[in-house]
Structure 1
């Protein structure tokens, strides 16, 4: 069995073994994975964080030992909080974005296999207790991030990537997709009872949950739709004042207890 770790700011994971294939998710810096299949110059990864699978070009694969991988999986890791910061690897500076994993961070360095890399900037400790207000403050750091199907980074993010990253930084690991995230938490029965930090889910005409956002004060919602933005939320769904119409139909609201 082969194991690896993301050593670039972000790497696309694709549905098929082609650079033209759909991006299903992204591998972030410091995120470990297991190689579950190989096909030519492509490797199929299963992320240690959420179990999601996708293909990467073999050139993006950085191997780690089985011992390191198991230790990584058994440890809660610090996360970067600055929109962009750098990790120093020798004389090379690796740019990393908010939400990147900082494996075995000791206050100044992270560790990849036996190599220690220096890092500076704002870091969230893995055992930090986050209040709803702090979660909303983290969410606001993502405002204006451009929308990208399969994205979960400062360079492009989708709706469930946004919620997964915000909650992950705050210490709660959500699944990757919106319909999976909807299985977590306790249901809030009325939109007027929703509180900041609740997750609101939206369905398509066939009834499938396809969108998610984070509830704010004043019946507003922050979500990734073209960009990470704030819109109005009511019992019908999301109302976009710029478009002067509803863009998403409300299905359910869930409250996550940390």
Structure 2
């Protein structure tokens, strides 16, 4: 088990990272090519390839139980899960399978965990979602990333909403199918998802609306910029970095 595992588009260490596995995620093997495993993530159905050396097998019973349960997520930048024999770092947004307040369970092995975690049985409020989003500030941009040490725009929104108990798809063009449209930027509320398109009209970017016409998003890093009817204005560089296409409101 590892803190983060790259999931690639093809069977090569040089291939594009399409997403990442974070600690505690489950997946199903759907193919194999030499030393590479093609997997499908249990949480969002995303597929890609991982190095077989980074594969952790679990029993069919455990996999079935994992899919049926709602799991807490780590809400601290970095903690550890431990047994007497090993210590594994787990980052913000990691899954904590079957966490009982003291330990998690992976297969039949228990690992102690003493950090903070989300409660999947409690409906989070908007202040909690915004608090979680701001924990990612200054996380560096990484295409395909989902961790605080490297994350992309849709990985960021997926992780924040996932910690708050709402499973979004992986990519921005998929996420835009969720929620109800907000017709004017002046009607946007904190926690809304703002989507941005390229010249061809394809959704290529997403961020989370904050108070006072601000937005938190991944652009070089997780940062806060100004949002208006044109898009995202980067005051540091004095230009519009993204063109606004639509705003959606997701009920947690």
Q: TM-score, normalised by structure 2?
A: 0.99
**1:73-88 matched pairs, under 5 angstroms:** 73-88=67-82
Deviations, residues 152-207 of structure 1 (Å, cap 9, x unaligned)? 00110000000000000001000000010000000000000000000000000110
11, 35, 42: which is aligned to 2:36? 42
Distance in 2 (CA, whole Å) between partners of 1:111 and 1:90 is 15
Within 2, Cα distance between the matches of 1:15 and 1:70? Answer: 26
SS at match of 2:87: strand
More strand, by proportion:
1
Over the residues paired in the alignment, what is the CA RMSD in angstroms?
Answer: 0.6
What 5-or-longer segments of structure 2 have no aligned partner?
none
CA deviation after TM superposition for structure 1 residue 89, in Å: 3.0
CA contact (8 A) 1:12 1:26 kept: yes
Answering whether residue 9 of structure 2 is matched by residue 23 of structure 1, we say no
How far apart in 1 are the matches of 2:239 and 2:101? 48
> What residue is the counterpart of 1:155 in the other structure?
149
Deviations 1:180-238 (A, max 9, x none): 00000000000000000000000001100000000000000000000000000000000
Aligned partner of 2:62 in structure 1 is: 68
Of 150, 166, 169 in structure 1, the residue corresponding to residue 163 of structure 2 is 169
* Distance in 2 separating the partners of 1:239 and 1:76: 38
How far apart, CA to CA, are the structure 1 residues paired with 2:229 and 2:188? 11
Aligned to 1:124, the other structure's residue is in SS state coil
TM-score in terms of structure 1 length: 0.97
Find the aligned partners of 2:222 and 2:174 in 1 and give their Cα distance. 20
**Distance in 2 separating the partners of 1:210 and 1:127:** 33
* Equivalent runs, 1:238-249 vs 2, <5 Å: 238-249=232-243
Unaligned ranges ≥5, structure 1: 1-6
Distance of 2:35 and 2:59 partners within structure 1: 21
Q: CA deviation at 1:134?
A: 1.2
Corresponding residue of 1:93 = 87
Structure 1 runs (4+) greater than 6 angstroms displaced: none
Q: How does 1:115-194 map to 2 (within 5 A)?
A: 115-194=109-188
Shift of 1:130: 1.0
Indicate if the aligned counterparts of 1:128 and 1:170 stay in contact, CA closer than 8 A.
no
